Structure formats: C-alpha cells, structure tokens
A and B are shown apart, each in its own frame.
Chain A
Amino acid sequence: MTKIYLRHALLQTLSLPLICFFLFTQAALAYHHEPSGNHATADIRVTGRVTDSAGTGLPGISVRVRGNSNVGTQTDAGGAFALTVAENATLIFSSVGYETQEMAVNGRTEINITLQASNQILSQVVVVGYGTQRKLDVTGSVVQIKGDELAKQSSPNAISGLQGKVAGVNVINSGAPGSSPTVTIRGTGTVYGNTNVLYVVDGVWYNDVNFLNPADIENVSVLKDASSTAIYGIRASNGVIIITTRRGRRGRVTVNYNAYAGWQSVTHGVKLANATEYATIINELSASNGAAPLFANPGSFGAGTDWNKQILRDAFTMNHQLSVNGGTDKSDYNLSVGLLDQDGNVKTNNYKRYTLSLNNNYSPVKGLDFGIKVNGQYSKSEDIPTTTIFHQIYGAGPVVPVFNANGTYGDPNDYKLGGGNPYNPQATIDFYNQRTQIYSFTGNAYAQLTFLKHFKLRTSFGGEFVNGEIVGYVPVYRATLAQQTTVSTLTKTLNQARNWIAENTLTYDKTFGSHKVTVLLGQTAQRYQNYNVIMSAQNVPAGAQNSYFSLGNNFNITDNGTNGTSLNTFSSYFARVNYAFEDKYLLNASIRDDGASQFYGNNTYAYLPAVGAGWVISKEGFMAGQKTFDLLKLRGSWGKVANAGVPYNITIPATTTTPQLVAIFGSPSTTFIGTNVNTIVPPSISIERATGTDIGLEGAVLNNRVSFEIDAYNRETKNAVFPIPVLTSLGTTGTVIGNQADIRNRGLEVAVTWRSKDQQALRYTISGNLGYNENTVLSVLSGRNPIYAGGGGLANGALATRTIVGESIGSFYGYQVAGIFQSAAEVAASLQTTAKPGDFRYVDVNGDKVINGKDRVNLGNPNPKYNYGINTSFSYKSFDLQLDFQGVTGVSVYNANLAFRFGNENFTKDFYDNRWHGAGTSNTYPSANIGSTANSAPNSFYVSSGAYFRLRNAQLGYNIPNAFLSRWKIQRLRLYANAQNAINIFKYKGFTPEIGGTPTNAGIDNNVYPLFATYNFGLNVTF
C-alpha cells in the first residue's frame, strides 16, 4: 500500500486531482479485496522475476494460482512480480508467445523463472470481429500490429503509422494539424458516401479515430478479406480496423510517461518564380492576350517577395502522455491523459488536443465481468483557410511586398495584378480569426456473464457524443483593396453528433476431444444523428470571440439541412460458427442480417453470409518428417459485405429552401421565402454489396525465423452507389444518386518477416510487404456511357476523370499533347486554327481532322497499383533502431494547380524555366497562356507519375542502464530520436505525390497540404 501512496504523492505534484481521486478509490478497492483468499494455510509473500532465455525481464506475464482464480497478477515492465499466496500453492506463469510453466511455491519467498519462447506463429492470438482467435485458426486475411509499433512513430494520429505496415493497405497522410489519414484497403470498391474503413474501438463503431492517443492503443487488427469483415455487414465494404485500447495489468501500479517534441517542415515546397521572372512571364502573358506589357522593367523588381518563406515555417510539435495502470485480482484500470500541441506549417496555425482515456474492468465474482472504456477529447485549433491559403501563396505576385515602407500591407491592386490574385497572403492569415473546438466523449460500458461453463453472454452499450464549435470573427479592417470590410461579422458553427450502438452477443465455446467449436449469436442496434447550425451577426464589437450575437445586429441562423443534419438507424442480427478438427482442418462460417433506415421495402435488409476453410498442411502425418516448414497452412474464404453509406431518405424527393431562393418584391422591398424542387432522386436504391474471395498461404521456415503470408483476392462490388452528373437541361442541381456501377478489385499480397535468433546480442526483425491491386469497372448503369467527374479545382470546371467499363475508377481523361505550336505558320497548317503559338498541339486521335471532345483518351490511373513497405527493427544492448521504408508505384496524379488561373497568378520556377517563349524554346511546356481554355483543358501535360519511395520512419532509441535508474525508482528510461519522411524520392513537381480525394476525383493536386517531414526527440519513462 505504501507504494501506492507514494505514487499518489508523486502524482499530486503533477496537479492531476482526477488521477489522485481515481487512484485513491483503486487503493481503497485493493485494500478491501486484500483479505480475500484461502486462510486455511499460512499465506506468504512471494516475489520474483520472469525472464526469457536471454535473461531479459518479461513484462505482462500472467501469474496465477492453480485452483484459485481469485489470486493472480502480472509481471511489471522489468519482469518482476509480487503475490501473496498460500505457502503450498502452485503458480502458473503464462503469456502469449511463451510456453506456460508451473512452479510449486513450497514455502519459498523468491521464485525466479525462465520462460521458453513458444512457437510464436502457432500460438499468436489475433483480434477478429466480435472476439479473438488463434492466428492458426483464422481462415481469412487478418494482420495484427502491436500498439507499441505504431507508437514508435511519434504521429499524432494512430492510423498514420499503418502506412507501409500492411500489404494492401494504402494510407494517405496529410500534414494539416488535426487531420486524419485516408485509408484504403485492397483498392477502391466504394465510390460514394462513407468510403472510410470502419474503425471498431473496444466494440464501438467509428468513421474516424482522431480522438485516440496512439500511446493508449494495445493493438490494431486489420481485417482485409470479405469473410473476416462480413460479420460487420453494412459497414464492412471498405475493410475493418479493430482497435483495442490498453487495459491495466494486475499487480503493482505502473506509471508511464511518454513525451516527444520536435518539428514538422515542408520538404518539397513548390518553388515559385521570383519577382523578375514573374514580371517577365506576365508580360509574355499580356502579349499573348494582345495587351501591352504590365511591367515596364521586370528587372527592377529583383527577387521580390518569397511568399512560401513568408507564410510557411518549420512547425513545432510537442506531445505528452501520462498513464497509470494497475489492478487487483478483481479489477484493473488504465488511466491515461495526453496533451498534443502542434503548430501547422502555415504561420498562425496551431492545434492542441487533450485526451483522457480510462479503461476500467471489474470481476466481482467468478463469471461476471463488467467495465467501462471511456475516451474524452478536447481539441482547439487556431485555423487557417486551409485550401485557399496554399492557392494564395502559389498565386501571389512576388512583385508585391509583404508590407509597404509605411507599414501598410502590400496591395496587389497597386501593381494592377487584377482579379486572379488580389490577395496579400500575409493579410489573409493575419485577419483570419477562426477557432475550432471539439469536445468529444466516446466509449462504452459492458457486462459479461459466463455461465454453464461454456456460455458467455455479453451486452454492451457505447457511443459517441461530439460537440464541435467553430467561431470566426472578421473585424472591421482594411489591408488591401480586396481584403477589407467596414462591417464586422461574428460567425459560429455548431456541429453535434450523437451516436450510439448497443450489442448483445452469446458465445458458446467447447472442445470435445479433437473437435473445437465456437458458436456466436448476436444482435445490435445503432443510431447516428448529426446536427449542424450556423449563426452569424454583424457589428459585434471587436475582441468578440467570447462575445454574444445579441451585441450586434442582423442576426442570421441556418440549420444546414443538406449537409450537416442527418439521422440513420441500423438493426442487425448475426451468427458465426468456428470449427477446428485436430487443429488441422478449419471451418468458419457466419451470416449477418442488416437493416438500414436509408433503404425501403425489399431493399431495407441485406443478408451477408461468409465462409472460410483452412488446412494446416504442416500438421499432416506426411509432413511429420520434413524439416523445411515449421508451419504451412492453406486457407480460402468467400464472403459478402455491404455498404450503406448513403444519405438518409435518399429516395424521398425533398424540397429545397435556401436564402438564394428568397424572392424580393414590393416597394419598399420585402422578402418572400422561396421553396421549390430542384433535385432528382432515384426511384429506388438498393444496398451496395460486394463479394470477396481470398486464397492464402501461410508458412514459417528456418525454425520459425522466417514467416510468410501470400494472398490472392478478388472483390466485386455490385450496384455501387454514387452520384453521377445528369443533363443540366433537367434543371436540377448537379447529380443523381443511384446504383451505378460494378467494380472489381483484384490483387496479390505478399508479406515476409525474418527474425533474428532470440539469444544473440544483435537482434532484428526485417519484414517486407507488397500489395498489387487492379481496379476495373465491370459495368456502369448507363451502359457504355462513361461517368465524368473531377471538375473541382480545374479552371472552367472541365471534367478531368472518366469512369468507364474496362478502366479504373476515375481514370484521368483528356487530350494527348503532341507538342507546342512554334509559329503562326504551324498553327495555320494545323487542325487548331484558333490556337496561338505556344499553345498545346493536340493529337487528332480519331483522325477525323477535327480536334474536339472525341479526341480525348485515358491519361492515367489515380488508383495505385503497387504499394509496398520494408519495415526493420534492430536492437543491440541498450540501443534500438527502427527503419521503415514505404512507397507506391503504378499511379498517376493530375497537377491542377498549373492551369488553375484566372489572371496574373504566379508561375512555378520549373514552369518559368521551361516555358515556351518564342519559336524553338520548348516543345513540351506551353507559353505563359497555359490558363487559356484550350490549354487548360485536361490533357497529358498535367498528368504525371505519382510514384514515390521514402524513408517513412526512422527511430533510434537508447535505454538508460538500470544502474542509473534504480536510485530514482525508475524501471525504465528510454530516449529516442525520430524522423518521418526524412527521405523522399519522386519525380512529381506539385505539392506532394500523396494526394487523396473521393474516388472519382482522386489524385487531383489542387492546393493540397505540401509534403512534410517531422523530426522528434522523445523519452519513455516507466515508474
């Protein structure tokens, strides 16, 4: 007990009264339970240490007493344990990955024991849907990653670290503080609505897990094939990632403190033309437009303003996490608090996140367990206009000074730059006064009853309550002609999510001789509701972030019906049988029946079966003599999954009421609310379903030092739901949603891991993975008619992608450039008679002697064909080193920035250096008039390879020797240095080759957050 109070005192100094209170109750609980036990014989206190064959202390080893499940503990981080037991008791030491050993106490007070590593591959347990399974028994494709491995990447977001770790999992990270990565598992099979993977955190379903502190994660399980995900039914189409958070370990209280600090810097900022170059090329643009030069003497401007340097910075990041965990034989807890303070690469941008996580479990009597898992998050972001600021930096004229000599902002209007770039980016961020705060509370409570030995009844209720608040205040100011206002405006956006999920499962688990059977029955209900309200008022006094709308006038309120407000419910039943015979023949089968409120009548429900079979060849008699394979297993699976990620009430035609439809009549003018119908809904819509098959071969050779896993898969999405543009002559806005297409993803995955021997001084693990995916559209509803999209961010909204039978989703589509017109004579002799010298010369693909829309062709595929990773970790004495490499190839990106021009925007240095500016100067880059309609039409010039290879993560750690630590009562102190994306190799010339986007608009670089690297120094301390 003294130890507990000692920690208590320690924590008090850290001013965390909540933890103190919690610890106090835990201590009281521990005290209360201490007397329980068998008093028939004398109890003695046994201490000791559990080590591996190399003598290293093993943490987390379960120490139990045979025949008395009320007594038990786990070893601490150093392998030590302490337990009060009867002097004649027998202790059982067990843990995943080690052979279980028993040891009689025989009155000894100190017991040290060495555990032998078990056949790791055979005994590994992985988390699967609604349970755990031995890896050996799994018949689908499931990859589990330890939380420690992800935490070794010093990323604010837990999922970022998955990049390059798992074959077939494509992760796209963004450097924007507070952002979440985009994850695609085995290719894009879903086009619309919710294209995120499903995250299941301790049983609760989420679209995003930004609220999790990576250090709180015990493990992450990636379910890749349809048979594994099918148990998650309507949310399984895009793959499932199951996250289990850390639990406390029985035994003494452990306090962990993890921290790092470092910086994030833009590694490949787009280099822009300087002022002299800018003035030169703008004069060329004017000449091309038949106008007089804008700048009389380009050379007089010198280098001018480097807007990249002016607005961007190396951004500081700091992260702290403190956790306390422990437990008694009847309860355990893990409490963790975290603080992340991350600056953005754009000046003034800052993101702070405070997290609190509690995982608390009780087992008051044998057979009954209950507990809660709670995550609280508060985040505060000082925002920047994320997309526009990059466009402004890109376009801002370098001839404009940041500030004039008299201290006022440099005004592009003073230089007659026109409407394309009228902003001073410095003024933009100076007067962009917006703060986003998110309060989220997530988690669940569960109770589990084990009865009649083999039955387990579990009920849980969990959910998510999110309250987001965006407050913006535009003061009265005048920076430039285009950046000024005489009326202040206070705006507040409130977002709320109230989601819940209730689940009940009954499990039956029994082994009869060689037969092992597990049966699962379950039922769940879910409800997802979102609200969105936008309020604004004018003339609220300055400094009004905390002020009230009632202090101003012209109050306006919008509850955003089309985007922000929704309500969906789901009701589901599911069942699963796992059967194994002699651990040799495996059979798993499941079915899920899902009902979704978005659908009607016969379309409401989806029945989603799955089946998998496995054959552990290495266990067969005929393999008994061979020495090559320690494990060889062949498995195959088939399953159906679905995606219900479509808007609520999608087939019910709705009216539109917007401010833009308010009519004005009368003298004096009065307003008349306008409501009408300007949308088309599909007559009916059915749930999008996908059928997936997977064949896998798993094996281990060289004494289990090399293990491999090979998968071939095929997944066909039927009736994929997404919106397609409709004829504007229907008079409706935009698109109509429906079951539009069938899509196939098929591919191959290989993962190989090579481990060193446990005993040697230099220990290492090297693993490599490679995923190949081929995305093909099998059919579209419109028959042979393609689906055009990808207009966002392109000048004139030209459509840059096409989805057509036989090609990949959202393939780039446009003209093929043959070269550049060098002279008026060349133009006159060509098919493009209205072109100017310096314009693109397009290929007359169909040979009809006319250059028109019919000459457009497939220009590339934004869906990566290959993604791969090489992950290594080494340890030598007190040092450890982790090097992860990662890349994608077989992918194209579209640089929309180049031609997104409306006037005198700046050009890249690369464009300036290579542009056409007179006969013979270039036959690849066009003239300064690249923004003209003909030149900016989607064409092959804008498409380039998006392949990259990078040193994703490098971390060097050093464990301070115990000799120094013991007198501080520190068990472990590790210092490390970490670098992410330190080395990147790619050819693309835009912001970054790592570009996300919705499936039919993917890979289009339109002012995305630039590629970044992070460098951190950190420490891990365990008390």
Chain B
Amino acid sequence: MKEKRFSSHVIAGIGLLLAIVVMIGCKKSFLNVPQQAQVPVAQFWNNASDAQKAVSAAYANLRNYDNTAFPAIAVESIGSDDAEKGSSPNDASFMNQYDAFTIDPAEGQLLGFYRAQYANINFANQNLDHIPAISMDETLKARYLAESKFIRAYSYFRLVRAFGDVPLRLTLPKNSVTDFNIPRTPKAQVWAAIEQDLTDAAAVLPQSYPATDIGRATKGAALALHAKVALYQKKWTDVVTYTTQVMGLGYSLFPNFEKLFRVENENNSESIFELQNAIVPGNSGASNSQYSQVQGVRGSTGGGWGFNVPTQDLVNEFEPGDPRRNATIIFRGTTTAEGDVIPAVGDNPMYNYKSYVPFNMFVSGFPEGSQQNVRVLRYADVLLMNAEAANELGQTATALASLEQVRARARGGNAAILPKVTTTDQNTLRTAIYHERRVELAMEFDRYFDVIRQGRAAAVFGPKGWKPNKNEVWPVPQSEIDLSSGVLTQNPGY
C-alpha cells in the first residue's frame, strides 16, 4: 500500500521536474537579447529623419559648458587685455593662470576646450561619413553635409588658433591601431582643411532659412568664417573677396548697439551665426548653456558667477561718449537699460554686458540666462575684417567706407561723438581699425587672438607675462599627451 503511494508520487514528481527542466533555458535564442534603451548604430543612418537628428546633435553640442563657459573663457578671453578672471579672488583661482600666462599643461580648462572641439568634430565626421549613403532628398542631404562641414571648420578654427598644430581627423577613425593615436598635423594643413570645408559649405548652404530653421549655418556664415580664417593667415585678398561676398548678401547693422545683444533681438539683420539657446520647459538638459551664467553679475538676484569681467584698460579704450562703452560693460552702482539695479558694493566693479540677460527673465531650475544666444559672427565683424584687409592691400577707400559703417551705427546720429575716420595713411588707418575692432567686438572672444595674429602681443600682453615664441599658442593638455604615449608633442616652452 505504502509502496504504491510512493511510486505514484515518484512518477508525478519526476514528470513535474522534467517539465521544468525542459522548459527553461535550453533554447539557443535565450542568449540573444535585444539592445536595451538605445538604438544600435546599425539601425541608425537609415532615413532623412536620422540625418536630421544627427545634424541637430552636432549643433546642440556647440552650446555646452566646454564650448561656451569656463574652458572658452579661459582659452579665448581671459588672456586678453579686455578681460580678467573676475569673481571672488580665491574662487577658481586656477583661471588666473590664463591671465598671467603661468599656465600648467595639466590645468583642466585646456582639456575641456580641446575635448569640446573634438566632440563637435566627431559629430560632424559621423554625419559626413554616414549621411551620403542615406537615401533621401538630395538637396537636403547636400545641405546637411554642408552644415556639418561648417561645424567642423568652426571647431578646427578654434583649435588651430588656440593650439597651433593639432591632430587632423577628417573621417572617423576606422582602425584602432593606425587611426586612433595620430600625431599633430602641421597647422598649415589644418588651415587648408578648414578652408576646403568652408568653400564646400558656402557653395551649398542657403542664404537664409524659413522661420522654423533659423539658426542653421548659412552661406553668409560660411563666407564670414572663411574671411576670418583668411584673416588669421593674412590672406588679405581672400579676406576682401569673402567679406565682399557677405556684404552682398543683404545683412545690415542693427540700429541699437545695446539692444543688439538682448534676447528679444536674437537672429536680427546683423546676425550671421548665433548658437541658438532657449529655456525649454521641463528640459534643463536642452537648456544647458551657461555662457551667460558664468559671466553674470555676482551676488545679485540671479547669482551669476561673475567671471570674465572687463578691465579698466578696456574702459579706457573707448572714445569719449562712445555709447558702446556702457553697452559693453555693466558698471556697479548703475541701473541697466532693462531696469536692473546693480548694487554699488560687490566683488567686481564691472561685468560683461553683452552676455547679460535681465534678471526678470531668469527661470528657477535653469542656469541664469541660459536662453541667451551666443553671437559667433555678426556683420560688424565682417565690415571690420573687410576694412583691415582692404587697408593692408592699400584699398583705403574701401577700408574707410567699411569702418565708417561701423562707427556710424555706434554714433547713432549723435554728430558730437565718434568722428568719421578720414586718414589715408595706412599705418594710422591700421591703428584706427585695430582700435575700432577692439571696442566694437570687446568681450566677444576675438581680442586675444586678434592681437596675437596682428603681431602685437609682446607689446600689448607682455606686461601681463606674455612671452614671444611660447604664448602664441596654449599648451596641449597634459593628459592627452600622457594618453598618446608621446605621439603628441608639447608646444615649445611648456
């Protein structure tokens, strides 16, 4: 009796166990699991929508912290005589190294800046390698490729003027042995690659976009950047050629210099290329520009950080009565045109007005002023490049005409200030153009490199510690040299 019950249990038990054994884990497909929460690259680059997303990502990256905040300030602004570190003396004192030219190659902003440019370049290269194979509207495809070339050229331009020779990557690295760790490419080749990209881009990019696409790179942007690239290489004829082309595209100076930089006047008639920023409700990641915040007024409502502040030397540069002085610099103890009262007591006597966003536009949970577009290229810059190059070529009339356009706008109809420059002496005019460029474009991240390319750095920055045959370029980031195991070399003197 007992035995019988036992055996029936045994049979039932074995049956149950076998059922479980067979059911679980024996199928081969059990180990093939789908990719989670990410689209594999193999399923991307398929259609026009993918191409659009890829190009969007490349633009979006341009506004991030490394591209527009501390690293950019350190590498592109503080070294100049227009700006100094700012903020509280002991706050981020490492930034002083860029002001005093005591830079340590391991200082983090160098790497941040370098990393940012190559991240932009990677996105552009991804687009340029993959989009051609996508079956889509050919016109749009060509435009996406041209936009990507513009972004790549802009990033290499920022690299080459900061570091000189840099590794030149124009395609994605394919082979980890031969393509990953490459040496620095001589800067002449980098300049040539930039020019090729801009030539290609200008041939394809439209002059303007419909309202929904404003902010993308235009033909004017490619030409204007090309002019600047030529300017750095002292290719005066090319500068005149490209600026003249831009001048035929219908841009005009915005009448009010102060309002030119306010949020409501973004993408105006003078704008050639701006990094598009906005406060996107519920999406602080898409609202991540800290360009305005890091330069904002310290210790006031918004809690700006107050870095990259104007110097007294810059104040002194303005001609008497020049309205641009008070539209470039926020002075303590004044009230801004937008009605913000700046307390008389604080860490810094002056702040950058061009990056300023009125306090009532701050939104909690977002960096203060993260909606402020970054003005990269504007028409006044083009006119001054035109004037500078024309003067070098002896085309004095052209130079004077372009210069006067800029001064006339600043003058704003007030005949008592900013007299028209009439000199025909090349040297005197050159000085006048240099002066004009400084006051017109002050705090717009060009001054430091302008002075170097004009060959005046030893004279102008020398008192701050700038040394010739060394400080023309910044050091290559130490960690990058470490990782390259010596394939990358350091700039002389560092």
Contacts and interface: CB of A to CB of B under 8 A. Distances in A.
B41 A654 contact: yes
Given A459-B21, A660-B288, A853 B106 contact: yes
B52 A672 contact: yes
A727 interface: yes
Interface residues of B, number: 110
B415 interface: no
A537 B282 contact: yes
A451 to B, nearest CB: 6
B345 to A, nearest CB: 9
A908 B310 CA distance: 35
B104 A728 contact: no
Nearest to A794: B108
The interface centre, meaning the residue of B32, B33, B127 with most chain A CB atoms within 10 A of its CB, is B33
B106 A658 contact: no
Interface in B105-125: 105-108, 111, 114-115, 118-123, 125
B211 A667 contact: yes
B288 A289 contact: no
Contacts of B38: 561-562, 654-657
Interface in A749-785: 782, 785
B483 A727 contact: yes
A485 B366 CA distance: 10
A367 B12 CA distance: 12
A568 B30 CA distance: 10
A665 B213 contact: yes
Contacts of A675: 39, 44, 50, 53-54, 56-57
Contacts of A902: 91-92
A729 interface: yes
Given A487-B365, A556-B283, A569-B33, A904 B93 contact: no
Interface in A631-667: 648-649, 652-667
Given A554-B282, A653-B41, A481 B299 contact: yes
Contact of A673 (B53, B288, B364): B53
The interface centre, meaning the residue of A658, A672, A731 with most chain B CB atoms within 10 A of its CB, is A731
Contact of A661 (B61, B93, B104, B105): B61
Nearest to A647: B36
B176 interface: yes
Contacts of A798: 106, 108
A788 B482 contact: yes
Contacts of A286: 89-90
Interface string B374-391: 000000000000000000
Contact of A796 (B35, B52, B108): B108
Nearest to B155: A731
B57 A676 contact: yes
Nearest to A287: B89
A312 to B, nearest CB: 26
Given A289-B90, A413-B299, A666 B56 contact: no
A291 interface: yes
A553 interface: yes
Nearest to B38: A654
B413 interface: no
B135 interface: no
B294 to A, nearest CB: 10
Interface string A353-374: 0000000000011111000000
Interface in A472-490: 481-482, 484-487, 489
A732 interface: yes
A253 interface: no
B122 A731 contact: yes
Contacts of B393: none
A953 to B, nearest CB: 43
B40 A653 contact: yes
A674 B479 contact: no
Contacts of B60: 660-664, 674
B179 to A, nearest CB: 9
B10 interface: yes
B361 to A, nearest CB: 13
Interface in B121-135: 121-123, 125-127
A541 B72 CA distance: 40
B368 to A, nearest CB: 12
A489 B108 CA distance: 33
A537 B283 CA distance: 10
Interface in B16-54: 16-17, 20-21, 24-26, 30-42, 44, 50, 52-54
B282 A538 contact: yes
B340 interface: no
Contact of A670 (B25, B87, B107, B212): B212
B90 A282 contact: yes
A419 interface: yes
B40 A652 contact: yes
B180 A726 contact: yes
Interface string B456-485: 000000000000000000000111111111
B97 interface: yes
Interface string A560-590: 1110011111110000000000000000000
A766 B283 CA distance: 62
Given A502-B25, A561-B37, A932-B94, A669 B276 contact: yes
A678 interface: yes
Contacts of A658: 285
B119 A731 contact: yes
Contacts of A571: 25-26, 30-31
B278 A664 contact: yes
B453 to A, nearest CB: 24
B347 A289 contact: no
A570 B24 CA distance: 11
Contact of B365 (A290, A418, A538, A663): A538
A830 interface: no
A838 interface: no
Contact of B17 (A449, A652, A654): A449
B25 A657 contact: no
Contacts of B94: 795-796, 932-933
A418 B88 contact: yes
A537 B214 CA distance: 30
B407 interface: no
A917 B76 CA distance: 35
A645 to B, nearest CB: 16
B9 interface: yes
Given A365-B6, A554-B281, A417 B286 contact: no
Contacts of A663: 55-57, 59-60, 276
A595 interface: yes
The interface centre, meaning the residue of A482, A536, A569, A666 with most chain B CB atoms within 10 A of its CB, is A666
A366 B303 CA distance: 77
A419 B283 CA distance: 25
A834 B216 CA distance: 44
Given A449-B14, A654-B38, A596 B280 contact: no
Nearest to B484: A727
Contacts of B167: 729
B13 interface: yes
11 contacts: A291-B89, A291-B90, A413-B299, A418-B89, A489-B365, A648-B36, A655-B39, A663-B57, A664-B286, A665-B59, A672-B56
Given A418-B89, A667-B267, A729-B182, 19 more contacts: A289-B89, A459-B17, A502-B20, A536-B282, A554-B282, A567-B36, A569-B30, A652-B35, A652-B41, A666-B212, A666-B213, A674-B54, A677-B44, A728-B114, A728-B480, A795-B94, A834-B102, A853-B106, A853-B481
The 9 closest A-B pairs by CB, nearest first: A525-B25, A731-B122, A659-B285, A561-B37, A418-B88, A674-B57, A554-B282, A291-B89, A663-B56
Interface of B: 5-6, 9-10, 13-14, 16-17, 20-21, 24-26, 30-42, 44, 50, 52-61, 64, 87-94, 96-97, 102, 104-108, 111, 114-115, 118-123, 125-127, 166-167, 169, 173, 176, 180-182, 211-216, 266-267, 276-278, 280-286, 288, 299, 303, 305, 347, 363-365, 477-485
